[in-house]
């Protein structure tokens, strides 16, 4: 579903991603872990088509190469990004936003989905304005259920959440999961991954995937940190 081939990204002379190869099959969930500043968010931004970065390499979604395309085209091709720091949209209510991102849903259907994601009470408030951290993350997951993307990039969906909220966010991810969507989840913590069915874990250090493996890698990171991978 998502295949990255030798994906690089730079800003001016500074190279941030140094050749990422990754394949996430339909319905799979892969976790990206790595130290601060290693390029995890950049990876999400570049796949989504953020023009701040000069990208090279291939970004294949269902075998069509999105590299060089604009964000809107990538979004239409089924790429969804949830931000580490979701931005507010003053003047736009969550209901209006929802109606716009999926015009096929009627109000009743939107409310039903909103209830499932415990965001119904926010439908008539502005998107992400003055919501708590956990409330914003629930709204991000609600958007996935509205759009059914082919590829969902979730950047630190667990950051700033209390223990119970992490569990409920994981449950909402599980509730969304099906064979049509591949997930890339960036996280620093093993806690959320314990509640998810993770197919593969990739460790990113200094713009490169230095190790990939199964769920056992999470415990390796947990007990020994990232220095073990540095300089590899």
**Where along the sequence are the contacts to ligand ATP (CB under 6 A)?**
11, 16, 34, 36-42, 52, 84
Containing 191, the helix (H) or strand (E) segment is helix 190-194
Cβ(208)–Cβ(18) below 8 Å: yes
Containing 152, the helix (H) or strand (E) segment is strand 151-155
Give the shortest CB-90-to-Mg ion separation in angstroms.
24
* Distance, CA of 12 to CA of 40 (rounded, Å): 19
Give the shortest CB-124-to-ligand ATP separation in angstroms.
32
Tokens 């872990």 belong to: 33
Residue (114 or 151) nearer to ligand ATP, CB:
151
Helix 163-176 and helix 133-147: axis angle, to 10°? 0
Q: From Mg ion, ligand ATP, none, which one binds at residue 52 (CB under 5 to 8 Å depending on kind)? A: ligand ATP
Name the residue number minimizing CB distance to Mg ion.
41
Interface characters, 79-108, with Mg ion (x: CB under 5 A): -----x------------------------
Residue (84 or 199) nearer to ligand ATP, CB:
84
Give the shortest CB-127-to-ligand ATP separation in angstroms.
22
Residue 1: other Cβ atoms inside 10 A: 20
Cα→Cα distances 46→61, 204, 230, 232, Å = 14, 15, 23, 24
Q: What are phi and psi of 68, to 5 degrees?
A: 85, -15
Residue (83 or 122) nearer to ligand ATP, CB:
83
User: Collapsing DSSP states into helix, strand and coil, what is residue 185?
Assistant: strand
Give the shortest CB-184-to-Mg ion separation in angstroms.
13
Give the shortest CB-4-to-ligand ATP separation in angstroms.
15
Give the shortest CB-140-to-Mg ion separation in angstroms.
15
Residue (114 or 169) nearer to Mg ion, CB:
169
Q: From ligand ATP, Mg ion, none, which one binds at residue 42 (CB under 5 to 8 Å depending on kind)? A: ligand ATP
Asked if residue 41 binds Mg ion (CB under 5 A), the reply is yes
Containing 11, the helix (H) or strand (E) segment is strand 2-11
Cβ(151)–Cβ(184) below 8 Å: yes
Write out the residues near Mg ion by the rule CB under 5 A: 40-41, 84
């Amino acid at each position: 579903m998502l295949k990255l081939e030798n994906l690089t990204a730079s800003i001016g002379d500074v190279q941030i991603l140094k050749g990422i190869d990754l394949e996430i099959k339909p319905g799979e969930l892969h976790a990206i872990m790595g130290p601060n500043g290693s390029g995890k968010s950049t990876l999400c931004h570049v796949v989504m088509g953020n023009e701040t970065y000069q990208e090279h390499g291939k970004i294949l979604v269902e075998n069509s190469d999105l590299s060089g395309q604009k964000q809107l085209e990538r979004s239409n091709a089924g790429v969804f990004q949830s931000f580490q720091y979701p931005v507010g949209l003053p003047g736009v209510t969550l209901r209006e936003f929802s109606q716009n991102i999926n015009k096929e849903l009627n109000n009743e259907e939107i409310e039903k989905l909103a209830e499932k994601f415990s965001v119904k009470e926010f439908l008539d408030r502005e998107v992400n304005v003055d919501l708590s951290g956990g409330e914003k993350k629930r709204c991000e997951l609600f958007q996935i259920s509205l759009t059914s993307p082919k590829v969902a990039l979730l950047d630190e969906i667990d950051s700033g959440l209390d223990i119970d909220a992490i569990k409920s966010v994981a449950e909402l991810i599980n509730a969304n999961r099906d064979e049509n969507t591949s997930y890339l989840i960036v996280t620093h913590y093993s806690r959320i991954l314990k509640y998810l069915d993770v197919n593969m874990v990739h460790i990113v250090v200094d713009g490169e995937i230095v190790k990939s493996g199964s769920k056992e890698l999470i415990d390796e990171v947990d007990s020994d940190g990232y220095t073990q991978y540095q300089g590899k």
